[in-house]
Amino acid sequence: MMISGVWIAACSSRLPVQLARPYLSTLPLGLDVFMPVPKNNPLTAESVELGRRLFFEKRLSRDGTLACASCHLRERSFTDGRPVAVGIGGKRGHRNVPTLLNRAYGRSMFWDGRAASLEEQALQPMVNPRELGNTREEIVRRLQASETYRRLFRRAFRTEQVTIERVTRAIASFERTLLSANSPFDRYELLHDKNALSESARRGLDLFRGKANCSVCHSGPLFSDERFHNTGVSWGRQPLDLGRYEVTKLEGDKGKFKTPTLREVEKTAPYMHDGSLKTLQEVVESYNRGGGPNSYLDSRVRPLNLTPQEKSDLVAFLKSLSGSLK
């Protein structure tokens, strides 16, 4: 929720949390004043620097060709511009690479929410055979053999002993500093700068909150309710991706995927969990049609009957959510 123009925490964590200060003394305009940080992994300059090095470290992949940064490119707002992820040896995944921006506030990670924390999220690509394809033991062995990394681990954790838990804690710390806000929308909404949005974007904002009903799911400072919905994207294609159901095994979760953040959405194409929509115009058109009909379609997804001008205005507003990367 928002009180007196300041976002107050709407996110939670399964771990004990603390404020990100003093490492992050200020947060970009538009983000929560409270960032959930696990008490067993406080943000420090040393852990963030180690995490930064590890994020770009190709030794984390089995064949030494890829790093976390290979799929999360800063110039693409920490996505990769491909429909689906491509791992070692050119192996293709089956889902689009989600942005890491503002994931410090996330309730769960990945399109299906299978990881409860950034620490869990950091590990899974490293050991996934279709991504970095490595093992916990080999990662530890390689880093422990490096004098540079032993020194960095000592600074961050007061011990030279490398463990996979410390590797993931460091990467998660770095990822918590990947923030985006201070967008034209934030200046319009929070600073009451009426010149921050164009007339078209202002009309698009009204549509976003009204006729188009986007804000029912794309809510809060992240423009995501952090929940899971079936919008019918790729439904019926084979092999069928059942999304959240693969984690929970609940019948009602079939075809559900987490609501993605809309911050920096102009720069994170292609869109949806399968990367099947190439442009924001295609995304708007998909929702305008009422999604993809199926037995599990979210009841809030229905035909919108937007005019061509309204579609254009909605895209203009979405573009106003691109801000500054911290």
pLDDT in tens, 236-259: 888 899 999 999 999 999 999 999
Q: Using 50, 70 and 90 to split pLDDT, how confident is the model at 26? A: confident
The closest of 140, 141, 144 to 165, measured between CA atoms, is 140
Mean of pLDDT values over 33-57: 94
Residue 324 has a pLDDT of 85
- Under a CB-based contact definition with an 8 Å cutoff, are residues 264 and 321 in contact? yes
8 A C-beta contact, residue 262 and residue 218? yes
Q: Using H for helix, E for strand and C for coil, what is the string for 151-209? A: HHHHHHHCCCCCCHHHHHHHHHHHHCCCCEECCHHHHHHHCCCCCCCCHHHHHHHHHHH
* pLDDT grade for 18, boundaries at 50, 70 and 90: low
Q: What is the pLDDT of residue 1?
A: 35
For the chain, percent of residues with pLDDT exceeding 70:
93
Q: How far apart are CA 261 and CA 220, in angstroms?
A: 10
* β partners of residue 17: 38
User: Under DSSP, is residue 139 helix (H, G, I), strand (E, B) or coil?
Assistant: helix
| Reported pTM | 0.92
Fill in the DSSP letter of residue 31: S
CA atoms within 13 A on the CB side of 286: 19
Can you give the pLDDT at residue 33? 80
pLDDT (average), residues 131-137: 98
pLDDT grade for 19, boundaries at 50, 70 and 90: low
The pLDDT of residue 142 is above 90: yes
Separation CA 306–CA 212 (nearest Å): 8
List the chain domain ranges.
2-175, 181-325
CA distance 16 to 179: 22
Residue 81: Cβ-neighbour burial (10 angstroms; 0-12, 13-18, 19+): middle
Secondary structure element (H or E) that encloses residue 38, with its range: strand 37-38
* Residue among 193, 179, 137, 144 at smallest CA distance from 263: 179
* Identical fold, 2-175 and 181-325: yes
- pLDDT interval class at 21 (50, 70, 90): low
For 159-180, what is the mean pLDDT? 97
Q: What is the pLDDT of residue 87?
A: 98
Task: Please give the average per-residue pLDDT across 200-205, as a whole number.
Answer: 98
Which residue(s) pair with 277 in the sheet?
271
What pLDDT does 208 receive? Answer: 98
pLDDT at 28: 87
Q: Distance between CA atoms of 249 and 265, rounded to whole angstroms? A: 30
What's the CATH fold of domain 2-175?
Answer: Cytochrome Bc1 Complex; Chain D, domain 2 (1.10.760)
In this prediction, residues 215-226 reach a mean pLDDT of 97
CATH 1.10.760.10 is right for the domain spanning 181-325: yes
Q: If you average pLDDT over every residue of the chain, what do you get?
A: 92
